[in-house]
A = this chain, B = another copy of it.
Amino acid sequence: MLQLTKRTEYGLIALVHIAERGAVDAGAFVSAREICDRYPIPRRLVAEVLKALQKHAIVESQRGATGGYALTRRPEQITLGQVVSALEGAPPLTSCESPIVLKSGGCEVQSMCPIRSPVNRVREQLWGLLEHTTLRSLLPTRSAPLAIGAANGAAHANAAAAQLD
């Protein structure tokens, strides 16, 4: 289904929460417990998601009693694409590009597949939209407008957003 997984949802909730806490308490580490205390999310899941985000250098973690998670960079430098990629893997959108198919000799339809390259362009468009939508634009307050205009237009929108800091 063309749908974000719960993992991604939870990840976004966590990231937004961490970003908000970080805005007031710079340098503070937010614990997974704090997040799942505030939102009805299984603690185990939050931990799993945050672990994945940490491995992809989107958040950094601090162990120990006062430990927790913090963003490795500013919200405007974290894109939805990075988050989705970390939590769901690269988005092959069409199975032509999926690792499984590729390692088994590639898509058999490939040579004559009439939709391969066009759908790939669609995939890149969709992906571009995610890549150019930043975590900052998901924050409730002082939120930047969404990267409207997708792939092409987003280049400017994003560049502009990046210059905000």
Q: Interface residues, chain A, CB within 8 Å of chain B?
A: 1-6, 9, 12-13, 16-17, 20, 38-41, 80, 84, 88-89, 91-95, 108-109, 112-115, 118-119, 121-122, 125-126, 129-130, 133, 137-140, 143, 146-153
Contact = CB atoms under 8 A, between A and B. Distances in A.
15 contacts: A2-B4, A12-B119, A13-B109, A13-B114, A16-B115, A39-B112, A40-B108, A80-B122, A118-B143, A122-B129, A122-B130, A125-B147, A129-B129, A149-B152, A150-B150
Complex copy number for this chain: 2
A2 B88 contact: yes
B137 A118 contact: yes
10 nearest A-B residue pairs (beta carbon): A150-B150, A118-B138, A16-B114, A12-B115, A2-B91, A3-B93, A148-B152, A121-B146, A40-B108, A4-B93
